[in-house]
Structure 1
Amino acid sequence: MDDNMYATIVGLNNYEGSKVFKIGSIVRLVKEPENDYDLEAIACESKYVGKTGYIANSAKTVTKGTMSAGRIYDKIDDISFCEVKFVSNDSVIAKVLTYEQIKELQDANQEDDFYNSEID
Structure 2
Amino acid sequence: MTNHELFTTIVGLKNYEGSKVFKIGSIVKLVKEPDNDFDLEAIACEMKYIGKVGYIANSTRTVTKGTMSAGRIYDKIDDISFCEVKFISTDSVIAKVLNNDKIKQLQEENPNDDYYNSHE
TM range (shorter): over 0.9
The CA distance in 2 between the partners of 1:99 and 1:23, in whole Å, is: 21
Runs of 4 or more above 3 Å deviation? none
Q: Deviations over 1:3-40 (max 9, x none)?
A: 31000000000000000100001000000000000000
Residues 29-78 of structure 1 show CA distances to partners (whole Å, capped at 9, x for unaligned) of 00000000000000000001000000000000000010000000000000
Indicate conservation of the 8 Å contact 2:29/2:83, yes or no: yes
Work out whether residues 30 and 45 of structure 2, in 8 Å CA contact, stay in contact via their aligned partners in 1.
yes
Count of aligned residue pairs for this structure pair: 119
Residue in structure 2 matched with residue 47 of structure 1 by the alignment:
48
Amino-acid identity (%): 75
Take 1:22 and 1:99, find their aligned partners in 2: how far apart are those partners?
22
- Structure 2: gaps of 5 or more residues: none
TM-score (norm: length of structure 2):
0.96
Counterpart-to-counterpart distance in 2, 1:37 and 1:78: 18
How far residue 118 of structure 1 moved from its aligned partner, in angstroms, is 3.6
The gaps in structure 1 that reach 5 residues or longer are: none
Q: Distance in 1 between matches of 2:97 and 2:36?
A: 21
State TM-score, norm by structure 1.
Answer: 0.96
The residue number in structure 1 matching 2:11 is 10
Distance, in Å, in 1 between the alignment partners of 2:62 and 2:115 is 27
**2:118 & 2:103 partners in 1: Cα distance?**
10
2:58 aligns to what? 57
CA contact (8 A) 2:25 2:85 kept: yes
Separation in structure 2 between the aligned mates of residue 76 and residue 40 of structure 1, nearest angstrom: 12
RMSD: 1.1
State whether residues 82 and 103 of structure 2, in contact with CA within 8 Å, keep that contact through their aligned partners in structure 1.
yes
